[in-house]
Amino acid sequence: MVFLIDDKGKIPTSYTNNNKMVGLVRKLSCTINLNSPGEYMGGNLKFDFGPHSQNERYHECEEIRPQGSIVVFPSFVHHQVTPVTRGTRYSLVLWALGRPFK
């Protein structure tokens, strides 16, 4: 079953028949790199720590480049993947759902 998450990270009632899933939010995100480093260029996982950060606002995650590398982060951290300029980037993305952090 595919879930469409609303802009607050919740699964709308109309998208699942499993009542245990309604109202839960994405808490942790996990990205696993399935490629060898030379199979593509670009496609870097990039975090935005916001203007309040003491160091650089943006951080490109080089640690994810080796094949099989895993990065786990809180889902509320703003992130993106830079455009792939050569080849094809394959990754596996997982989310852990739960009640909102307090």
pLDDT digits (tens, 9 = 90+) for 60-93: 888 899 999 999 999 888 999 999 999 999 999 9
Judged against a pLDDT cut of 50, whether residue 1 lies above it is answered with no
Which of the 8 DSSP states describes residue 39?
G
What is the distance between the alpha carbons of residues 55 and 85, in angstroms, rounded to a whole number? 28
Distance CA 30, CA 19 (A): 24
Dihedral sign, Cα of residue 62, residue 68, residue 74, residue 79: positive
Q: What is the largest CA-CA distance in the chain?
A: 45
d(CA 66, CA 75): 22
| E strand or H helix at 73 | strand 70-74
Question: What's the predicted TM-score (pTM) here?
Answer: 0.72
What does the alpha-carbon distance between residue 44 and residue 65 come to, in Å, rounded to a whole number? 8
User: What average pLDDT score do residues 5-21 get?
Assistant: 65
Residue with structure tokens 């980037």?
89
